[in-house]
């Protein structure tokens, strides 16, 4: 599976030899052929190393891979997560119509609607100062404890949306490094602080360790006899574990096994969004995602934004052989987009076997990284323009500003467009030589100056223009990336919804933590490198104490 059909491989081989600027000359309608529109969005894929003919081949390949069937199966709640025998029904979480949706013969929509209404009530109470802690003083601060999918999505959205301030401060703690929690708690008042413990499984060691430390922090500050449990809300599919931790059942919001962790921000995992920005903003986020869902479900492949971007991603990785992908949002609020996308794409498609267990022939998900524009321009863009690696870049550009002054937003957008242009056209040739000659340079010094300044260009990028970064557009953007990732998984023939690779490290950490805790050495059968490291950690620990 995922071998590149010969027609596509041939097209890719030919295009590798072309300069991107020549492709514009060859197809005067290239901008029309390779630009997409959705609502007010424009997605410019014209600077990528492909053509309208290549896109047609890719659409035919998607049809041959039964993409239509897989999209229908995803939305219908079929068990697309084959290895775990589950649906992946994150789309149901933002479904607004009243149509029932059955999982194992049971309509899941009533529970989803009820949970939305609990989120609305809880967020409303907290924002209005109507929920008190154990001493009765109103809660004024939320600390959300969770990791991976139970952290990245809500944290990204809380960061991305502009005020107005709710009066309630929302902080996020994910790392088991005690520095994370201690910094978040510094200066806070236990009497007015509420923790959300978000963990689908409620077994994740980092989250449970932070939750236990948070409970000790609350308990230490309470008058004797007062219960710390009221300072905690749980979001989990494991209600029994949350109640065993001490959270009242009425304060546990449900999750379901058919929601993957990295697709869970639309569920009660998104509670901090509703608390920080209001339930209406959370609802607008869901609506934006639902609008993208409808587009993904119904638009013809050649005009379907997640499908075309998924085809492009697969083409770049599998046909052109790019091993990296860079995402640069020109929006300060999207500083965490790359981190969220890393989990989404690498946990979903960082696999080496197909759905039926065969080895994937060729690469799967490329490494993904990025940073915000314009900061990234002053960090790694030198490498993009003149380094030896050739990595496609995705520019994500909300056009209208969240904050004044307008001139700064103009500068921001101009920089995004200019960077994409610079990657395409580069700098060099006679114009640069003449500039240098005009400075009085000639011969060897001129050649050296030319070489140092030349930017080869011919580097691919996509520019995604969205009208502004509000809740609805953000919801659509995140749903777009979810679906694009799914499209890539279908072309790769892999299951995007499991993540067994993360289990090994978790289980190996247990004996190591035990050995570090009581000073024991690891069993002889352990590899010599790890045994030596444990020994050295022991000696460093002894020195400190
Ligand atoms: O990183 C592995 C993982 O299982 C993710 O898939 C998940 O988002 C994260 O851990 C947190 O899991 P939980 O929500 O169960 O605490």
DSSP string, 196-248: EEE-SSS--HHHHHHHHHHHHHHHHHSPTT--GGGGEEEEES-HHHHHHHT--
Give the pLDDT confidence score for residue 520 in this predicted structure. 84
**What gap in Å lies between CA 222 and CA 218, rounded to an integer?**
6
Tokens 């596509």 locate to: 8
Least confident of 111-120, 232-241, 488-497, 521-530: 521-530
How confident is the model over 397-416, as pLDDT tens digits?
999 999 999 999 999 999 99
Q: Shortest CA distance to 153 belongs to which of 266, 265, 290, 283?
A: 265
Best mutation site among 151, 173, 200, 339 for ligand 1 pocket (most ligand atoms within 8 Å of CB): 200
pLDDT recorded at residue 543: 82
Rounded to an integer, the average pLDDT of 507-528 is 90
pLDDT at 456: 96
| Section 96-112 average pLDDT | 93
**The pLDDT of residue 519:** 83
**Which pLDDT belongs to residue 264?**
98
Tokens of 294: 């409808």
Residues with CB under 6 A from ligand 1: 147-150, 199-201, 204, 207, 261-262, 347, 499, 502
Tens digits of per-residue pLDDT, 124-170?
999 999 999 999 999 999 999 999 999 999 999 999 998 766 678 89
* Atom number, ligand 1, closest to the C-alpha of residue 206: 16
- Contact indicator for 158, 272 with CB cutoff of 8 Å: yes
Q: Token pair for residue 319?
A: 């046909």
**What's the mean pLDDT in 89-110?**
94
Closest-CA residue, ligand 1 atom 8, reads 149
Rounded distance between C-alpha atoms, residue 161 and residue 421, angstroms: 29
User: Residue 166: its pLDDT value, please?
Assistant: 62
* pLDDT for the residue numbered 545: 52
| pLDDT given at position 225 | 83
* Band (63; pLDDT cuts 50, 70, 90): very high
Which two structure tokens, joined as six digits, stand for 346?
């690498």
DSSP SS3 for 226:
coil
Furthest-apart CA pair in the chain: how many Å?
Answer: 86
Active-site annotation holds for 61: no
Angle, vertex CA 424, rays to CA 423 and CA 428, nearest 5: 80
Residue among 86, 150, 270, 348 whose CB has most ligand 1 atoms within 8 A, to mutate: 150
> Tell me, what's the pLDDT at 518?
87
Residue with tokens 């109640």: 243
Half-sphere exposure of 49 (CA within 13 A, CB side): 28
Residues 397 and 372: their CA atoms lie apart, in Å, by 10
Q: Is the pLDDT of residue 540 over 80?
A: yes
Residue 324 has pLDDT above 70, yes or no: yes
Looking at 144, 206, 231, 347, which residue is catalytic? 347
- Phi first, then psi: what are they for 329, rounded to 5°? -80, 130
Reply yes or no on whether the pLDDT at 2 is more than 70: no
Pairwise CA distance, residues 118 & 102, whole Å: 22
| 229 in Cβ contact with 246 (< 8 Å) | yes
pLDDT of residue 422: 98
Ligand 1 atom nearest to CA at 207: 16
Whether residue 405 has a cis bond before it, omega within 30° of 0: yes
Least confident of 244-253, 348-357, 362-371, 510-519: 510-519
Mean pLDDT of the chain: 96
Please tell me the pTM assigned to this model.
0.97
Q: In terms of Cα–Cα distance, which of 369, 370, 350 is closest to 360?
A: 350
Other C-beta atoms closer than 10 Å to the C-beta of 245 total 19
Ligand 1 atom closest to 269 (CA): 14
What pLDDT shows up at residue 163?
A: 78
Beta strands in 174-333 (DSSP E): 193-198, 232-236, 252-254, 324-329
Distance 74 CA to ligand 1 centre (A): 21
- Assess whether 347 carries a catalytic annotation: yes
Cα-to-chain-centroid distance, residue 189: 32
Q: By CB neighbour count within 10 A (0-12 exposed, 13-18 middle, 19+ buried), where does 51 fall?
A: buried
Q: How confident is the model at residue 23 (pLDDT cuts 50, 70, 90)?
A: very high
Q: What percent of the chain has pLDDT over 70?
A: 99
* pLDDT tens-place string over residues 232-282: 999 999 999 999 999 999 999 999 999 999 999 999 999 999 999 999 999
User: CA 512 to CA 504: how far, in whole Å?
Assistant: 13
pLDDT of residue 165: 64
| Residue 267 neighbours by CB under 8 Å, 6+ apart | 90, 93, 115, 235, 255, 256, 259
Instruction: Estimate to the nearest angstrom the gap between the alpha carbon of 258 and the chain centroid.
Output: 19
Cβ count near 506 (within 10 Å)? 12
């Amino acid at each position: 599976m995922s071998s590149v059909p010969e027609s596509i491989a041939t097209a890719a081989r030919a295009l590798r030899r072309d300069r991107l600027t020549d492709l514009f000359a060859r197809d005067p309608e290239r901008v029309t052929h390779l630009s997409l529109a959705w609502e007010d969005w424009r997605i410019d894929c014209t600077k990528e190393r492909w053509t309208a003919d290549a896109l047609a081949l890719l659409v035919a390949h998607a049809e041959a891979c039964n993409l239509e069937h897989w999209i229908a199966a995803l939305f219908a709640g079929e068990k697309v997560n084959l290895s775990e025998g589950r649906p992946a029904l994150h789309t149901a979480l933002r479904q607004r119509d009243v149509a029932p949706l059955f999982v194992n013969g049971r309509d899941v929509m009533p529970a989803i609607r009820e949970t939305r209404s609990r989120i609305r009530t809880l967020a409303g109470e907290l924002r209005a100062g109507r929920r008190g802690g154990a001493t009765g003083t109103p809660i004024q601060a939320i600390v959300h404890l969770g990791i991976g999918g139970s952290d990245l999505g809500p944290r990204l959205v809380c960061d991305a949306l502009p005020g107005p301030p709710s009066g309630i401060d929302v902080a996020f703690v994910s790392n088991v490094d005690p520095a994370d929690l201690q910094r978040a708690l510094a200066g806070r008042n236990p009497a007015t602080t509420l923790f959300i413990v978000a963990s689908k499984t409620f077994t994740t060691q980092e989250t449970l360790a932070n939750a236990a430390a948070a409970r000790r922090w609350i308990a230490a500050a309470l008058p004797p006899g007062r219960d710390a449990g009221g300072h905690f809300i749980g979001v989990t599919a494991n209600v029994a574990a949350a109640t065993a931790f001490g959270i009242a059942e009425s304060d546990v919001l449900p999750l379901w096994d058919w929601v993957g962790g990295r697709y869970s921000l639309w569920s009660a995992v998104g509670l901090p969004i509703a608390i920080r920005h209001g339930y209406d903003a959370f609802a607008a986020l869901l609506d934006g995602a639902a609008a993208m869902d409808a587009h993904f479900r119904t638009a013809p492949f050649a005009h379907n934004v997640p499908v075309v971007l998924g085809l492009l991603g697969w083409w770049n990785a599998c046909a052109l052989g790019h091993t990296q992908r860079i995402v640069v949002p020109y929006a300060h609020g999207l500083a965490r987009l790359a981190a969220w996308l890393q989990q989404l794409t690498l946990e979903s498609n960082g696999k080496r076997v197909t759905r039926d267990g065969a080895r994937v022939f060729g690469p799967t998900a490329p490494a993904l990284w990025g940073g915000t524009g314009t900061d990234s321009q002053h960090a790694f863009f030198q490498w993009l323009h003149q380094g030896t690696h050739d990595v496609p870049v995705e520019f994500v550009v909300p056009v209208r500003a969240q904050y004044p002054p307008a001139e700064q937003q103009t500068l921001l957008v101009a920089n995004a467009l200019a960077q994409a242009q610079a990657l395409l056209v580069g700098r060099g040739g006679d114009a640069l030589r003449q500039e240098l000659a005009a400075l009085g340079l000639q011969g060897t010094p001129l050649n050296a100056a030319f070489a140092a300044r030349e930017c080869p260009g011919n580097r691919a990028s996509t520019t995604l223009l969205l009208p502004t970064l509000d809740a609805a557009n953000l919801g659509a953007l995140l749903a777009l990336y979810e679906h694009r990732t799914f499209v890539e998984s279908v072309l790769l023939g892999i299951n995007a919804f499991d993540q067994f690779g993360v289990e090994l490290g978790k289980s190996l950490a247990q004996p190591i933590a035990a050995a570090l805790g009581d000073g024991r050495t690891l069993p002889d059968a352990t590899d010599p490198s790890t045994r030596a490291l444990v020994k050295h950690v022991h000696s460093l620990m002894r020195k400190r104490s």
